[in-house]
């Protein structure tokens, strides 16, 4: 069977206990001494399971309440297929360096912590680690009796620290190294009765998500699911600690883990020749009536493995029998009037069996209609239909869920996935406001794909409110799958929207650095300059880019000067593509070409090239001298006088001979007139 070990609280253990029978998995609790909440506690428990650390007897009552230290230490922990690790608290308590539980500490010393002011002073001292100050405080507050003095001796050794990004990163990396495969789970971002989130919890959820994503590991945040349920239906103590899940919500959490993590892991193992966990899961799916789920998995596997076909055939027979019985018993109710709760149950049952058309008929009864049903019923039916390849019905359920509550991330994501995979024109199905709402919930790449499907430009995925991480995701995707030009335009558009003189975000700077390095690695000079010029669109003031472009220009100038001084017209002409690839003008190129043309007597070309150079070198007297002499040779008196006037105007003490030459040209024009 597929073995799972929880490292966390009841919020992960309860769903997994339900999963044992409902999903055909095994809960491996060997050497698991109980609940934990903080990252440091999770690392300690993981190491204890593997026999790497021991817990002192003195600390044990503050670590575990459900096991005897000697008994659990005698157990062996065989590695599980998956470790579900909850990181729910930023408070990390230790007793002589051993991570302990706040709940156990409070219950063990409830009289001491009953006085809020005393507790506040204690935690302030525990955080500073000032031993003398702590001893003095406890002597004053908790030393009247022998029992108090004994408790004070223990309390004096308690320390408090808060998780930092760096410590969290280290603990996540440690857990990933210690354990074969991990799913990190955050706390749920529930709201207080006044509608506000708990600020510290919300910040920690965000931090956990960012760091797990950085590490490239699996992450689950139950908040989106809670929004689908409605908080009152998902959280038991809706007005107190906002911490405990209802039974229905726990089961739905397990549904998500099974569909998104456990089933894919199991199926991947089967495809790689490891079979042992699939059978129990498919059996459980049949017994629990989740026949659509089981069939979708087996069909996907059988397309790659012929050995799965007999299991699929038997499963289809079971499914068809179950569908027939359900239709005979319930099909007539689709045209009747049902209460919403009864309709929801029938929709769920029909979708579980793979009867998506019938599920939609139940859902769209005149009384109430689709949007009267709970969002989680609609989304679950839509997910099952999508997995079964029934795009039309999946889309109807997802659209109904989104229209019921535009804040539902999974409804938006499902609509986007269906539109992208099946090329559905969402613009014809939704209003502009609805489409904008969906886009606000999507991951950057998904947003980009959806916009592209509807003929929009990549920059339409960007606004002034788009954060840097989304910009990085979109630009990196475009650079990999389209071209760097579009990626640079997206960054440039974002920079303009933010009214930034230059980009300073470290992530975007690093992305640009990567592109610059790739450009410099190109063997062809034209390709190097062209790519650098393309990247420069994103941020012309990016330091690494400016240095690279400066070096490329300096190198090109050296080469064209060498070719010019050696009178090598062929070499000079060969540099044309590089010069034209530069994002800034290089007038020296036309000037050197004009000089060589002059030596060859091609004076008309000299005038054309010289004037081009003069646009960018108006204060360089040598350019005008060359033009003047070429114009004289072509007998173009008007041009010769024009250029001679420039020479006279620019002349100084060091260029008196050139001034005299120009004045002679002007006098000749006057005499000739």
Write down the domain spans for the chain. Answer: 1-90+163-221+232-288, 95-161, 458-584, 590-672
pLDDT of residue 427: 66
- The pTM score is 0.77
pLDDT of residue 598: 93
E-state strands within 124-283: 158-162, 182-186, 218-220
Per CATH, which fold does 1-90+163-221+232-288 belong to? Rossmann fold (3.40.50)
pLDDT of residue 441: 77
Say what the alpha-carbon torsion angle 619, 622, 623, 624 is, to the nearest 10 degrees.
80
DSSP letters, 375-430, are: HHHHHHHHHHHHHTT-HHHHHHHHHHHHHH-TT-HHHHHHHHHHHHHHT--HHHHS
pLDDT of residue 583: 87
Task: Give the separation between CA 382 and CA 384, rounded to whole angstroms.
Answer: 5
The three-state secondary structure class of 389 is coil
DSSP letters, 107-128, are: HHTHHHHTSHHHHHHHHHHHHH
Task: Give the separation between CA 105 and CA 155, rounded to whole angstroms.
Answer: 9
State both tokens at 199.
Answer: 């600020």
Under a CB-based contact definition with an 8 Å cutoff, are residues 597 and 606 in contact? yes
E-state strands within 178-244: 182-186, 218-220
Under a CB-based contact definition with an 8 Å cutoff, are residues 79 and 180 in contact? yes
Under a CB-based contact definition with an 8 Å cutoff, are residues 239 and 417 in contact? no
pLDDT of residue 459: 85
pLDDT of residue 670: 66
The three-state secondary structure class of 222 is coil
Tens digits of per-residue pLDDT, 180-196?
A: 999 999 999 999 888 89
The three-state secondary structure class of 620 is coil
pLDDT of residue 515: 94
Tell me how crowded residue 115 is: count the other CB atoms within 10 A of its CB: 12
DSSP collapsed to 3 states, 39-79 = HHHHHHHHHHHCCCCCCCCCCHHHCCCCCCHHHHHCCCCCC
Task: Give the separation between CA 170 and CA 168, rounded to whole angstroms.
Answer: 5
Strands 2-7 and 25-27, by their bridges, are parallel
Give me the residue label for tokens 């300073």: 504
pLDDT of residue 367: 63
Under a CB-based contact definition with an 8 Å cutoff, are residues 208 and 87 in contact? yes
In CATH, which of 2.60.120.380, 1.25.40.10, 3.40.1160.10, 2.70.98.30 is domain 590-672? 1.25.40.10
State both tokens at 346.
Answer: 């029938």
pLDDT of residue 233: 92
* Within this chain, domains 1-90+163-221+232-288 and 590-672 share the same CATH topology: no
Task: Give the separation between CA 457 and CA 520, rounded to whole angstroms.
Answer: 29
Task: Give the separation between CA 340 and CA 44, rounded to whole angstroms.
Answer: 48
List the end-to-end C-alpha distance of the chain, in Å, as a whole number: 106
Q: Which of the residues in the chain have pLDDT under 70?
A: 238-240, 366-368, 427, 670-673
pLDDT of residue 70: 93
Tell me how crowded residue 59 is: count the other CB atoms within 10 A of its CB: 19
pLDDT of residue 276: 81
């Amino acid at each position: 069977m597929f073995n799972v070990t929880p490292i966390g609280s009841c919020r992960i253990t309860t769903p997994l206990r339900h999963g044992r029978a409902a999903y055909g998995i095994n809960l491996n609790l060997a050497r698991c001494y109980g609940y934990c909440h903080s990252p440091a506690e999770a690392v300690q428990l993981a190491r204890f399971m593997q026999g790497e650390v021991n817990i002192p007897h003195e600390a044990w009552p503050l670590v575990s309440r459900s096991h005897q230290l000697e008994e659990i230490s005698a157990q062996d922990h065989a590695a599980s297929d998956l470790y579900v690790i909850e990181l729910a608290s930023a408070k990390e308590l230790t007793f002589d360096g051993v991570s302990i539980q706040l709940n156990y500490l409070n219950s063990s010393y409830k009289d001491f912590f009953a006085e809020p002011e005393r507790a506040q002073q204690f935690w302030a001292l525990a955080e500073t680690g000032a031993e003398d100050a702590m001893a003095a405080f406890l002597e004053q507050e908790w030393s009247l009796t022998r029992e108090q003095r004994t408790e004070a001796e223990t309390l004096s050794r308690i320390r408090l620290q808060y998780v930092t990004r760096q410590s969290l990163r280290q603990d996540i990396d440690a857990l990933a190294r210690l354990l074969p495969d991990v799913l990190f789970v955050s706390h749920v971002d529930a709201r207080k009765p006044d509608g506000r989130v708990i600020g510290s919890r919300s910040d920690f959820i965000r931090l956990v998500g960012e760091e797990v994503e950085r590490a490239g590991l699996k992450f689950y945040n139950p908040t989106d699911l809670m929004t689908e349920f409605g908080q009152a239906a998902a959280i038991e103590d809706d007005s107190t600690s906002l911490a405990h899940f209802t039974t229905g919500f726990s089961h739905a959490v397990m549904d998500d883990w099974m569909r998104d993590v456990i089933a894919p892991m199991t199926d991947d193992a089967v495809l790689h020749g490891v079979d042992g966990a699939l059978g129990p899961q498919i059996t459980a799916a049949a017994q629990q009536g989740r026949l659509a789920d089981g069939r979708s998995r087996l069909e996907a596997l059988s397309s790659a493995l012929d050995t799965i076909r007999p299991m699929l055939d038997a499963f289809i027979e079971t499914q068809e029998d179950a569908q027939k019985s359900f239709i005979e018993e319930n099909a007539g109710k689709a045209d009747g009037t049902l209460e919403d709760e009864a309709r929801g149950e029938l929709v769920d049952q029909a979708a579980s069996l793979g009867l998506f058309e019938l599920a939609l008929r139940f859902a769209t009864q005149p009384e109430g209609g689709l949007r009267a049903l709970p969002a989680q019923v609609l989304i679950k039916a839509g997910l099952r239909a999508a997995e079964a390849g029934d795009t039309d019905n999946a889309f109807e359920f997802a659209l109904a869920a989104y229209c019921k509550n535009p804040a539902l991330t999974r409804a938006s994501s499902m609509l986007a996935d269906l539109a992208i995979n099946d090329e559905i024109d969402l613009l014809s199905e939704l209003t502009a406001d609805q489409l904008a709402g969906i886009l606000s919930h999507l991951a950057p790449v998904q947003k980009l794909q959806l916009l592209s499907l509807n003929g929009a430009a990549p920059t339409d995925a960007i606004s002034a409110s788009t954060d840097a991480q989304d910009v990085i995701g979109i630009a990196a995707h475009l650079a990999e799958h389209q071209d760097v030009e579009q990626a640079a335009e997206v960054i440039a558009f974002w920079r303009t929207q933010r009214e930034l003189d230059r980009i300073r975000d470290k992530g975007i700077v690093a992305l640009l650095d990567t592109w610059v390095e790739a450009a410099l690695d190109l063997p062809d000079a034209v390709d190097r300059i062209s790519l650098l010029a393309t990247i420069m669109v994103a941020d012309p003031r990016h330091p690494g880019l400016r240095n690279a472009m400066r070096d490329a220009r300096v190198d090109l100038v050296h080469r064209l000067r060498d070719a010019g001084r050696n009178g090598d017209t062929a070499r000079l002409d060969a540099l044309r593509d590089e010069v034209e690839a530069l994002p800034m003008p290089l007038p020296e190129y036309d000037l050197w070409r004009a000089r060589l043309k002059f030596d060859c007597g091609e004076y008309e070309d000299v005038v054309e090239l010289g004037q081009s150079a003069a646009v960018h070198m108006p204060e360089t007297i040598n350019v005008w001298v060359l033009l003047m002499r070429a114009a004289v040779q072509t007998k173009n008196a008007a041009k010769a006088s024009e250029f001679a006037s420039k020479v006279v105007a620019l002349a100084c003490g060091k260029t008196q001979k050139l001034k005299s030459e120009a004045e002679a040209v002007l006098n000749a024009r006057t005499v000739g007139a």
